[in-house]
Structure 1
Amino acid sequence: MPALSLDPVGGVRIQTPVFILLPSISSVSPSCARKGATLTIMGNNFGAQSGRAVALSGPSHVDLVVSSWSNSSIAATVPNTSQVLAGKQYSVGIEKSGHAGWLSNTNVSVTICSELSLLLPGGRLISPVIKPGIAISPGIGAEAGTEGGSDGGAVDPGTAVPAPGGPALLGSQLPPPPADLPPPPPRHDKRSEPGEIVVVSSNMAEAMALQQQAQALGLSVKRRTPLKELGLVVTVLRVPKEVSIGNAIESLRQAQPNIWVDANHRLGLHGADVRFGHRLIGIAKPVTGCGNGIRIGLIDTAVDTKHPALAGQAIVTQSFLTTGVTPASADHGTATAALLVGKPQPNGFSGLVPGAKLYAATVFRHQDDRGADATAESVVKALNWLAGQNVQIINLNFGGQRNLLLEAAIDRLIKRGIVVVVAVGNNGTDQPTFPAAQNGVIAVTAVDENGKIYSKANRGKHVSFAAPGVDVWSAAAGKDGKTYTGTSYAAPFVTAVLAMSRKA
């Protein structure tokens, strides 16, 4: 009720009520900021700046440095002082000047990110400091024409193919990285791309936040690709020559424990191409229509679709090699494709499911010193494309070091209900190769005509099935065919059987 008071001339005056609207903070961005970073504080009823201040409350009380103030938005910088503790969470609030009491709510918080540093040869550290008020544009550090695409400005097949249907996962949060992280590669390791590391994010906002951290470390964005079918954003970061890939990975992992970062590992084919000459393994009774309605994915070398065993078959191809890269020999991919969907030949050979539709992704390049290899980045782009084609099963005949980028992508495919069949490899060891040893995949080894395990096949508890893979006859690019040996040629048998069982 309004208060009453006597009028100076003896009457009664009614005082007008005064309502004070207190400041209300609704959000603060970024939610994780380093010392020297600028916070954007949004809300309403902030009023005039006079007599007011913005501060952090938590392990210590810290005044922010205001650069702009309006009724609904404030820009303020986190001071670079010892009072601000990295890794700690602070509440943000508007208070009366001189710490005379809070005027706003203090239930919106910000975390102070850990300081980033890179260890250079000789023990020298790079500890960057971001200058207050400097905004980092979305394209900074990216090569011209490569944002969302591949080197050289080429259209990225990972994003150029529209999804025909199926659940989109973009924005679905990644779980924390596995506790048993793969160790970073040693300096000058030839099993990964030089001067590159890869980071996988759940969405573009996370990828952009990563970009700011990367630039502070002296890293720059080389490529970024949103993979809508997998619900991932892949960022390739360029590592300075004076910094090892291992140190760059360790620094990012230390600063952001939940980040999925790894080397851009090189993967090798699992076909040994050894001619034992014992006998030819073919299909005694060709079954032309077997596999009708099945959609199979294959990631391999290029496929010679003009080969007599493959000409006219339902094969869709897509290359994920960057411009200027020399493709590997098409023998391996052609042989695998023919084992799956090859049509009957005069010598009695036939593919296992010639009626199926094959989606074949080319990722393997020619390397003078290593024969052929593919990067984890290109394989994940191919997986994204295959998911968009609604394949039911994917055949992978390659492997190498464990890679978190590839691990996250395959995990998403499995959760989507896509079966992933992987050859275990031909190193003759019980040391697992990946992705064959990843949980959830179907790992296949090779046996000869007597059921004896191929002597060079990898072994281990992760092996799921054994199939013919010694002296298997199949097509060869540019010529009739030949016999092949290796776990690569066993995997298609399991792929075909599982594909048929899913159809049933």
Structure 2
Amino acid sequence: MSQPTGAGTTGRYLVLLEDRSVAAGAREMSRVAGITATSTADHATTAELAAADGLIFQDLGIAVVDATPDQVARLSRAAESPGPIAVVEAERVVQAYDTADTGQAAAVDESVFTWGLQAVGANLSSATGKGVRIAVLDTGFAADHPDFAGRAVITNSFIEGETADDAHGHGTHCVGSAAGPRTPASGGPGYGVAHEAEVYAGKVLSNAGFGSDSGILAGIEWAIANGCAVVSMSLGAAVRPGTPHSLIFEQAATRALAKGTLIIAAAGNESRRPGSVNPVGHPANCPSILAVGAVDVHRGIAFFSCGTVDAVGQVDLVGPGVDVYSSWNREDGALGRHKRIQGTSMATPHVAGVAALVAEKHGARGWELWARLAQSGRRLDLPSTDVGGGLVQAP
């Protein structure tokens, strides 16, 4: 099966190789289309990568390739027949999911903890995330942030020509919500859900806030290789109602779950309630990726939060996503190195942080972690098409 190139794509293609047939898949791509791909397992040099037509993410069994229309046609025909090549899809452009914010403080007491921490009950939990690794795949991380002084944050960049340093701010904000401090060095309320978790910040979005499918897949493979129990992805691409989910990302997610890594992703910000509700975006609309919507301080659905509108994708849980205070990459007036923004991007790291708390308390990984997280949801007086199992709650 294949998907044609269109708007919002990079011109490259993703090729799903059948499980346990990666080597055979590489040979088949060469045989049917003349495409030479190197594997992440080969530790190829920069020169070898430059000479290759593509790269195979060994642990995921997925290749990203440069291909002519004729080569794509040959790969697609191979995918329609029994063999090691299963699916061919156009590589998409993805972006950070946040929206403009009023900058106003939430209408609750945040003198000690943010409203988000209080809403998910993290401030009442004995779990801290200690010993659990959580990967935040985003725009990187501002390693000089004073609230993280003395704390090891492992970083890696998957954006060519850019370091893992966050010149955007979105990634630093998401890292803060997922695993920031409870007693910030620079003052203000505690804002990190899993404040003792081990953080892996992968830069898969550029300093302008954009990236591609292959960068995300590279980050997912990196997270799996480093034993991360949770991957938080506040990014994606809008889809039209009825658009099939990516079979390639679905397989990446199921293979990650089998290795003990749960992927949690933002549902998207394209709705404009009450007038219109847009479907859950890519890749959160995959069945094996936990999709997160956003609620406000009053536990109402955020006006921008995408929802379940067809049989393709659904919201699984919701998290705090409006007027969210967290770390920022630079000074922001009276808030210093912090900022308030909103989006399903902000809800996602809250859910990922709770997942780390559940993983610590119960030793749960993979599908068990998903099940325990889903069971934690606090029921809201809202349609399940908007909030799924409800507002995620710390153990």
TM-score normalised by length of structure 1: 0.56
CA apart distance, 1:280: 7.4
Distance 2:355 2:64 in 1: 34
1:464 to 316, 321, 330: 316
Distance 1:259 1:459 in 2: 30
Distance 1:498 1:182 in 2: 34
Instruction: Classify 1:288/1:329 alpha carbon distance in 2 versus 1 (closer, same or farther; 3 Å).
Output: farther
The residue aligned with 2:79 is 256
CA apart distance, 1:497: 1.6
**Which secondary structure state, in structure 1, belongs to the residue aligned with residue 128 of structure 2?**
coil
2:228 partner letter: V
For structure 2, the 5+ residue unaligned runs are: 36-49, 114-122, 240-244, 272-276, 332-336, 362-395
Instruction: Classify 1:254/1:462 alpha carbon distance in 2 versus 1 (closer, same or farther; 3 Å).
Output: same
**Which secondary structure state, in structure 2, belongs to the residue aligned with residue 238 of structure 1?**
coil
In the alignment, does 2:137 pair up with 1:274? no
Asked if the contact 1:359/1:386 (under 8 Å) is kept, the reply is yes
In the alignment, does 2:291 pair up with 1:443? yes
In the alignment, does 2:353 pair up with 1:499? no
**Which secondary structure state, in structure 2, belongs to the residue aligned with residue 306 of structure 1?**
coil
Q: Tell which has more relative contact order, 1 or 2 (C-alpha 8 A, sep 6+).
A: 2
Distance 1:327 1:238 in 2: 32
Instruction: Classify 1:424/1:497 alpha carbon distance in 2 versus 1 (closer, same or farther; 3 Å).
Output: same
The residue aligned with 1:397 is 234
Which entry has the higher C-alpha Rg, 1 or 2? 1
2:157 partner letter: S
1:444 partner letter: V
The residue aligned with 2:218 is 381
CA apart distance, 1:221: 8.0
- How large is the RMSD of aligned CA atoms in angstroms? 2.8
CA apart distance, 1:466: 1.5
CA apart distance, 1:323: 3.4
The residue aligned with 2:199 is 358
1:237 to 47, 66, 83: 66
CA apart distance, 1:403: 3.7
CA apart distance, 1:193: 0.9
TM-score normalised by length of structure 2: 0.70
Distance 2:170 2:107 in 1: 17
Instruction: Classify 1:459/1:283 alpha carbon distance in 2 versus 1 (closer, same or farther; 3 Å).
Output: farther
Once the two structures are superposed, the pairs formed by residues 177-188 of structure 1 within 5 Å of their partners are 183-186=3-6
For structure 1, the 5+ residue unaligned runs are: 1-180
The residue aligned with 1:65 is none
CA apart distance, 1:199: 1.8
State the number of aligned residues.
306
Distance 1:184 1:299 in 2: 27
**Which secondary structure state, in structure 1, belongs to the residue aligned with residue 264 of structure 2?**
strand
In the alignment, does 2:6 pair up with 1:193? no
For 1:254-278, what per-residue CA distance to the aligned partner results, in whole angstroms no more than 9, with x for missing partners? Answer: 3431532111211111122423514
In the alignment, does 2:41 pair up with 1:211? no
CA apart distance, 1:198: 2.5
Structure 1 or 2: larger helix share? 2
In the alignment, does 2:135 pair up with 1:297? yes
Distance 1:288 1:452 in 2: 27
For 1:211-251, what per-residue CA distance to the aligned partner results, in whole angstroms no more than 9, with x for missing partners? Answer: 221139xxx98543343433x25241232xxx4xxx76455
Asked if the contact 1:207/1:235 (under 8 Å) is kept, the reply is no
The residue aligned with 2:188 is 347
CA apart distance, 1:355: 0.7
Identical amino acids, percent of aligned pairs: 23
The residue aligned with 1:331 is 169
Distance 2:77 2:51 in 1: 20
Once the two structures are superposed, the pairs formed by residues 47-446 of structure 1 within 5 Å of their partners are 183-186=3-6, 189=7, 191-194=8-11, 196-201=12-17, 202-215=21-34, 222-230=52-60, 232-239=61-68, 243=69, 249-257=72-80, 258-279=85-106, 284=112, 290-323=128-161, 329-343=167-181, 344-345=183-184, 346-366=187-207, 371-400=208-237, 402-428=245-271, 429-446=277-294
Structure 1 or 2: larger strand share? 1
Distance 2:344 2:51 in 1: 37
**Which secondary structure state, in structure 1, belongs to the residue aligned with residue 293 of structure 2?**
strand
